[in-house]
Amino acid sequence: MHYADGKSTPCEDVLPDQVRGCSDLNTSAFIRRMIRAERPDLVVFTGDNIFGFDSADAARSMDAAFAPAMEAGLPWAAVLGNHDQEGTLSREGVMRHVVGMKGTLSRVNPEGVEIDGYGNYHVEVYGAVGSVMSNKSVVNLYFLDSGDYSTVAGVGGYGWIKASQQVWFKQTSDRLQREYMGQPEPQKDPALGLVYFHIPLPEFASFDSSNFTGVRQEGISSASINSGFFTTMLEAGDVKAAFVGHDHINDFCGKLTGIHLCYAGGFGYHAYGKAGWSRRARVVYASLEKAVDGGWGDVKSIKTWKRLDDEKLSTIDTQVLWSKGSPGE
Amino acid sequence: MHYADGKSTPCEDVLPDQVRGCSDLNTSAFIRRMIRAERPDLVVFTGDNIFGFDSADAARSMDAAFAPAMEAGLPWAAVLGNHDQEGTLSREGVMRHVVGMKGTLSRVNPEGVEIDGYGNYHVEVYGAVGSVMSNKSVVNLYFLDSGDYSTVAGVGGYGWIKASQQVWFKQTSDRLQREYMGQPEPQKDPALGLVYFHIPLPEFASFDSSNFTGVRQEGISSASINSGFFTTMLEAGDVKAAFVGHDHINDFCGKLTGIHLCYAGGFGYHAYGKAGWSRRARVVYASLEKAVDGGWGDVKSIKTWKRLDDEKLSTIDTQVLWSKGSPGE
């Protein structure tokens, strides 16, 4: 979102006839539009929620940025980007403020674990109330702090997900898989995992237009070195897709050894973009199957599409990320 | 070493006139020659110590393989390769046998830590007896199990160092740095770290003849995915060089963002090689500086060279890996 001070914070990279009156409020209006159109069960913010450099008060900027999700009474979750801490609060301070806000599922960090960063947590999504899956988490959402900038001498560029975070992620995934495949109602395969963080992994550079859905219009701004999180996701075995922010005009999903690597969509108006190329948001939609008793069962498929902030709120790039029983899924 | 059954196990890839009478015993003879010539303080074996497929009894093969170090009364350390467990013992079984052998500093794993693999441990090398550094570890040696083969569906090839091992390594390095830079005799910079494991990191492919010392005569057989250990070594900040086995006819040291990535030398005769291209071993030599009181002080430099198993036990590729006070070191 790159939210700063609201009405006084101008839009970047919009067409000449869109400049006048355009501000952070357009970002807020786009959230409200998305919520009205999609009626989501959860809103996820993938970092650079505020643009600290231009924010007079980081806490106020966050209150305003997340307000539309709170007004709608929706649960929401956020991770940190590389700009959130550039204002009046540190990374820890930003995350501590976020977890105190209304409706958020965000957490600073797991308890009793030594871990790098702020905002490493997971959310379990249980099966339908009254169904056989009502006591099982059928989709697990993992949120990680991908850092801001390298602090290693001789290594420039952006941050990365560190080994301590990967151990926490892997142990959490292992536990959730044991629970899902154990009593009661033991399942044959692990529940689906979806992962959210800000900075793309180096593996996002594995794709071109021949093997992704969407567009690549700039370099992949991953860390300059590989910290191995893609490997750890593969080891875990439950992750079907990872969603990141960071690159505003890259907008694709590509699949690598069973995991979709997706951009979440350049959303904010006080953020670089491309004039005439609409701001956008990604929707992730899980469908449930009917169980043998006629009630709701397990997850049947995960679809995704994007909505453009144009006149019609156009839907583009619809694709199936996963469907039960598909070979190689 | 690729040791199997001794005298009955033939040599591979030697010249036609060298085939007759050539066996594992040539490997043992080369160790003895090296020990006589270099009088080392420690012998490190970088994996594929035995070639399990051709070994009738893994424990006996190991006893014979490491015998020359034991006979010489030298301390020695070993890590596992991808072939050690292919005989009558599992990876855990091989490592448990190793740690019971005479003179070894090898350990199965750190106590009280959940960690992947077998043979993750460290060795501290204290300063000269009677010197100001006699109560400080001036060089820290880290040994890790880089696994054997991928067990992730859809990912082929060799194993890798996992997040749990990287967290242990990083915590150990952090602690050693605190101790070295703390009381008594607080030091300005961390003590040097040297790392040993079997399978090269993907970053070994960063070099060509313009920026390494040695030769590259085959592909870099790293894992097909990057598990981030190079990044974790950079984060730790104390590591100056990492030494691996695995690729028998690649034999170089290249420096990447302050860390030398080195092959330890294709050593064993029952192992693929290149006929007419001598088996070899790498030597690592740490020099101490004179302290102001005239006694021994801290490490002044780390040099390396290789010895060829030719008539003269020729020394090649001598280079300085690190020297105190050099810019960028």
**For chain B, percent of residues with pLDDT exceeding 70:** 99
Half-sphere exposure of B254 (CA within 13 A, CB side): 19
Contact A225 B229 (CB under 8 A): no
Listed residue (A195, A105, A97, A202) closest to A145, CA to CA: A195
pLDDT, one tens digit per residue, over B77-109 is: 999 999 999 999 999 999 999 999 999 999 999
pLDDT at B65 over 80: yes
| List of chain B residues whose C-beta atoms are within 8 Å of the C-beta of residue A170 | 163-164
ipTM: 0.90
Which of B154, B167, B229 lies nearest to residue A164, judging by beta carbons? B167
Which of B154, B167, B231 lies nearest to residue A167, judging by beta carbons? B167
pLDDT, one tens digit per residue, over B171-227 is: 999 999 999 999 988 999 999 999 999 999 999 999 988 999 999 999 999 999 999
Q: Please name the residue of chain B whose CA is at the shortest distance from the CA of residue A234.
A: B152
pLDDT, one tens digit per residue, over A246-264 is: 999 999 999 999 999 999 9
Arithmetic mean of pLDDT, A161-169 = 98
Contact B226 A229 (CB under 8 A): no
β strands within A32-159, DSSP E:
43-45, 76-78, 121-126, 137-143
Q: Does residue A166 sit at the B interface (CB-CB below 8 Å)?
A: yes
Q: Does residue A164 sit at the B interface (CB-CB below 8 Å)?
A: yes
Rounded to the nearest integer, the mean pLDDT of chain B is 96
Neighbours of B152 (CB within 10 A): 20
Q: Does residue B227 sit at the A interface (CB-CB below 8 Å)?
A: yes
User: B9 — phi, psi (to 5°)?
Assistant: -100, 115
Rounded to the nearest 10 degrees, the angle between the axes of helix A229-236 and helix A163-181 is 10
Q: Does residue A163 sit at the B interface (CB-CB below 8 Å)?
A: yes
Contact A225 B232 (CB under 8 A): no
Contact A234 B166 (CB under 8 A): no
Contact A170 B164 (CB under 8 A): yes
pLDDT at B261 over 50: yes
> What would the 3-class secondary structure string for chain B be?
CCECCHHHCECCCCCHHHCCCCEHHHHHHHHHHHHHHHCCCCEEECCCCECHHHCCCHHHHHHHHHHHHHHCCCCEEECCCCCHHHCCCCHHHHHHHHHCCCCECCCCCCCCCCCCCCCCEEEEEECCCCCCCCCCEEEEEEECCCCCECCCCCCCCECCCCHHHHHHHHHHHHHHHHHHHCCCCCCCCCCEEEEECCCCCHHHHHCCCCCEEEECCCCCCCCCCCCCHHHHHHHHCCEEEEEECCCCCCEEEEEECCEEEEECCCCCCCCCCECCECCEEEEEEEEEEECCCCCEEEEEEEEEEEEECCCCCCEEEEEEEEECCCCCC
Q: Does residue B157 sit at the A interface (CB-CB below 8 Å)?
A: no
Arithmetic mean of pLDDT, A10-35 = 98
| List of chain A residues whose C-beta atoms are within 8 Å of the C-beta of residue B167 | 163-164, 167
**For chain B, percent of residues with pLDDT exceeding 90:** 95
Q: Does residue A328 sit at the B interface (CB-CB below 8 Å)?
A: yes
Which of A153, A154, A167 lies nearest to residue B163, judging by beta carbons? A167
Contact A237 B153 (CB under 8 A): yes
pLDDT at B13 over 90: yes
Arithmetic mean of pLDDT, A11-16 = 98
pLDDT at A62 over 50: yes
| List of chain A residues whose C-beta atoms are within 8 Å of the C-beta of residue B152 | 234-235, 237, 257
| List of chain B residues whose C-beta atoms are within 8 Å of the C-beta of residue A154 | 234, 257-258, 328
**Can you spell out the DSSP letters for A194-245?**
EEE-SSPPGGGGG--TTSEEEE--S-----SS--SHHHHHHHH--EEEEEE-
| pLDDT for A327 | 60
Q: Does residue B202 sit at the A interface (CB-CB below 8 Å)?
A: yes
| pLDDT for A206 | 96
| pLDDT for A329 | 47
Which of A163, A170, A257 lies nearest to residue B155, judging by beta carbons? A257
pLDDT band at B326 (very low <50, low <70, confident <90, very high): confident
CA distance B271 to chain A (A): 30
Q: Does residue A258 sit at the B interface (CB-CB below 8 Å)?
A: yes
Q: Are A38 and A278 in contact (CB under 8 A)?
A: no
| pLDDT for B328 | 54
Which of B166, B231, B257 lies nearest to residue A160, judging by beta carbons? B231
| pLDDT for A328 | 54
Q: Does residue A140 sit at the B interface (CB-CB below 8 Å)?
A: no
| List of chain B residues whose C-beta atoms are within 8 Å of the C-beta of residue A164 | 167, 170
B259-263 and B251-256 strand pairing: antiparallel
Interface test with B, best of A167, A233, A240, A256 (most B CBs within 10 A): A167
Q: Are B231 and A226 in contact (CB under 8 A)?
A: yes
pLDDT, one tens digit per residue, over A92-104 is: 999 999 999 999 9
Q: Does residue B318 sit at the A interface (CB-CB below 8 Å)?
A: no
CA distance A122 to chain B (A): 19
CA distance B294 to chain A (A): 34
More confident residue, A179 or A328: A179
Is the pTM higher than 0.90? The answer reads yes
Interface test with B, best of A225, A230, A255, A261 (most B CBs within 10 A): A225
Arithmetic mean of pLDDT, A216-230 = 97
> How many Cβ contacts (< 8 angstroms) between chains A and B?
81
